[in-house]
Structure 1
Amino acid sequence: MTDASGSQPGDDTPVDTGVALTRREAADARRAVEAGELPPAFHTQIRAARSEFESQVAHARAEFDQANERIKERTGRDLLVAILIALGLGAVLVGSLIFLKWIFVLFALGAAILGIFELGRALQGAGRRVDVVPQLTAGTLLVLAGLLQEEWLHWVALFFAVAFVIVWRMMAQMIAKDARTYADVLSDVLIAGFVQLYVPFFASLAVLLLRQPHGEWWVLAFIIVVVASDTGAYATGLLLGRHPMAPKISPKKTWEGFAGAMLAAVLAGVLLALFMLGLPWWAGLVIGVLILVTATVGDLGESMVKRDLGIKDMSSWLPGHGGVLDRLDSILPSAAAALALYYLLYPLAVI
């Protein structure tokens, strides 16, 4: 028997099918929410958003890789790796100078030892006779001599370090009794003294500066100026570099890069003088210019040594940078300039 609507008695089927489906979907949605489940449409939106995000990330990564490859092709360096390593080393350096400055002595000693070892191995690879163990021994003592209270003893230590490695080389040559020519022996002797003057002596000057009143801030300041100079030269040279500065020594260095280095070094020097060293602005100008000159000379000098040895980097210990000396080439000679500037300008400081 049917009623007026045509349904059997007791049949729960609704009259309006569309309305029934809508109610059923709403009930299902409520049960899904109560059960912690999400409707299929929401999952679809999530998947679409995730796909869009992954696509954007992949596109950005592809663009970065292409830019990094262009930079690597032009500079020979992996930019991302170089930045990460530089930030890590910078954090250790700044932390040692600010929180416990004597840790910097270990930092300088370690850098000098690695630098001597790198340079010695590179020279040996070019056929030079370099006594690495005596060089390391003399270099270690020379760096630590920067801690001596009597500064004249530091210069005595330099004399004995150079004399020690030279005499060692001459004695070793006498014992060898090979057919090495006089010119080669003389070259080996001069190189022995050069290694001590170039790496541990300059490192010892940084230690000597550290030992002065407020010396840690001066060490930090001259390193910041060197880094600013290198960064300014790198960025400006990469973007605008057209005219080579010293094509026979370092073809990738340009006058545009040097201009960027000068701007960065002077700006950093003035800011550091005013806000960290307690000096007048013009003193910061002097600091920036002088450190720029020594950093540039050090960079070009190491490039000339590497070109003479027929190598691109001193080693591959620091990915994206090359060797330890490849990072210290601008810093080492700048330590001498910073120490001289300290003696000249520190009396003007208001700290």
Structure 2
Amino acid sequence: MAEDREPSHPMTGSGQPTNASAAEPPQKKSRAGRNLPAAIGVGVTLGALIIAILLVESRGWVVLVAAALTLAIWELYKRLRQQGFHLPLVPLIVGAPLTTLSALPFGVQGVLTGFATTAVVSMVWRLFHNGLGGKPENYVRDAAITLFVATWVILFGGIGALLVLTEQGAGPIWVLMIAVVCSDIGGYTAGVLFGKHPMVPQISPKKSWEGFAGSMIAGIIGSVITVSVFLDESPLLGVLVGAALVVSGTLGDLIESQFKRDLGIKDMGTLLPGHGGLMDRLDSLLISAVVVWGIVAVLGYQMTV
């Protein structure tokens, strides 16, 4: 999860300063910026839910992803609306679950078709439903960010849903989730204990090279285990997969961090105490899901739909 400080001069979508973030009540936090007890409680609860679904009925993962993406779209819509952006809510919030669930009967074709349809409908919807009562204003800006959100959440999330529909069953999901969790824990621990050298202070001031090293070590260890156990592949592949997922997870954190800094906000929302909003948890997972899908394709695993 990205751990940012609030930018000193937050701006709205129209270029005007906003004090929306300043109104958020302060919370007692750890050195790394989290309400640690709340973060642990929420993390354990979410982890238990995912484990239960994967063990009982792995295809329930697709339904879980659909629900999460719908909430994420709503969260992003509210945040962007507060900053003066006008996104077409109806096509996005309908397209997110339909695109994801279409993976069950139609596989890759369902996700790609759902994403493309959502993108087209969103562009047309914004043209005629601009919320301003007159001719469209800021159409290019709003259409561009709509397509960014649709790609970031709906397409990447849909790809994440597909991971459970290969001949390896829930194996790729275990690899994805455990690598990202290990990376997050390793980075948090190393950053708190040893973090001295900022990694990209202009984007995420609290992210350190020491924390990245901790993420890399923990992520590789987790991936060696999961790739060997769940995919029955070489531990050497686990090393490569772990390194790739740590890099992708870190880049996902940074993308969301810059997104929030552009909006002048600290968290995407308040749905998950100790973590912020749902997107503050999905940031690294969405990018990493694409990486795992690429690995699945290279290994030649067949789809089961």
If the length of structure 2 is used for normalisation, what is the TM-score?
0.86
Deviation at 1:345, TM superposition (A): 2.5
Instruction: Choose 1 or 2 for highest CA Rg.
Output: 1
Partner in structure 2 of residue 132 of structure 1: 89
- 3-state DSSP of counterpart to 1:215: coil
How many residues end up aligned between the 2 structures?
Answer: 275
Equivalent position of 1:101 in the other structure: 58
In structure 2, how many angstroms separate the alpha carbons of the residues matched to 1:283 and 1:346? 14
Residue 216 of structure 1: which of 170, 187, 190 is its match?
A: 170
Please show how residues 1-351 of structure 1 align to structure 2 within 5 Å: 72-149=29-106, 151-173=108-130, 176-177=133-134, 180=137, 184-345=138-299
The residue identity in structure 1 corresponding to 2:165 is R
Q: Distance in 1 between matches of 2:262 and 2:108?
A: 35
Task: Give, as a single letter, the amino acid of the residue that structure 2 aligns with 1:293.
Answer: V
CA distance in 2, matches of 1:214, 1:271: 16
Distance 1:146 1:179 in 2: 34
**Between Structure 1 and Structure 2, which shows a larger proportion of helix residues?**
1
Deviation at 1:119, TM superposition (A): 0.6
- The worse-fitting range, judged by mean Cα deviation, of 168-177 and 318-327 is 168-177
Q: Structure 1: 5+ residue runs without aligned partners?
A: 1-67
- Alpha-carbon offset, residue 239 of structure 1: 0.5
Cα deviation, residue 173, structure 1:
3.1
**SS of match in other structure, 2:130:** helix
Give the 3 Å change call, closer, same or farther, for CA 153–143 of structure 1 in structure 2: closer
Comparing 204-213 and 110-119, the one that deviates more: 204-213
Q: Which has the higher contact order (CA 8 A, sep 6+)?
A: 2
1:242 Cα shift?
Answer: 0.4
The normalised TM-score by structure 1 is 0.75
SS at 1:306's partner residue? helix
The answer for the alignment partner of 1:40 in structure 2 is none
Distance between the aligned counterparts of 1:191 and 1:110, measured in 2? Answer: 22
Q: CA deviation at 1:157?
A: 2.2
Gaps of 5+ in 2: 1-26
What is the aligned-residue RMSD (CA, Å)?
A: 1.8
How many percent identity over aligned positions?
36
Counterpart amino acid of 2:257?
S
